[in-house]
């Protein structure tokens, strides 16, 4: 009977050892989530909100090109980059919304 008791105690200690061995891996995933995944999801949400709020007349940066929005479709924008010069870009290409009047100083 004493031999059985020792065998059970050894099995319980081994289960705790397995849990302690997995703890660093679980801890790594938690740190990865808070340092990389969560901030990236927050930035993507802010970008999506900015794209939904775009309207005609807004001044934006799209693919490094400054322009004023003339038309908006579901997935494309028409930008006026110079007087009477229009280009069409994807909505996702807009990286930044500029303050009103920014383009007057640039032209």
Q: Which class would CATH give 55-106? A: mainly beta
CB under 8 Å to 86, separation ≥6 — which residues?
70, 78, 79, 80
Q: Tell me the pTM.
A: 0.69
Q: What is the pLDDT along the chain (107 residues), one digit of tens a residue?
A: 555 555 555 444 566 788 888 999 999 999 999 999 999 999 999 999 999 999 999 999 999 999 999 999 999 999 999 999 999 999 999 999 999 888 876 65
> Domain residues of the chain, as ranges?
1-53, 55-106
Find the helix or strand (DSSP H, E) in which 79 lies.
strand 76-82
In angstroms, the CA 50 to CA 69 distance is 14
Q: What is the pLDDT of residue 14?
A: 61
In angstroms, the CA 67 to CA 84 distance is 12
Q: What is the pLDDT of residue 107?
A: 55
In angstroms, the CA 69 to CA 86 distance is 9
Residue the block writes with tokens 């303050």: 99
Q: What is the pLDDT of residue 105?
A: 61
């Amino acid at each position: 009977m004493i031999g059985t008791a020792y065998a059970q105690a050894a099995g319980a200690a081994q289960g705790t050892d397995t849990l302690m061995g997995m703890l660093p891996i679980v801890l790594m995933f938690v740190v990865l989530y808070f340092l990389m995944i969560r901030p990236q999801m927050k930035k993507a949400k802010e970008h999506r909100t900015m794209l939904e709020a775009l309207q005609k007349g807004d001044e934006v940066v799209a693919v490094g090109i400054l322009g004023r929005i003339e038309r908006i479709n579901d997935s494309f924008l028409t930008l006026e980059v110079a007087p009477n010069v229009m280009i069409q870009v994807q909505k996702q290409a807009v990286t930044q919304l500029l303050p009103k009047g920014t383009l007057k100083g640039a032209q």
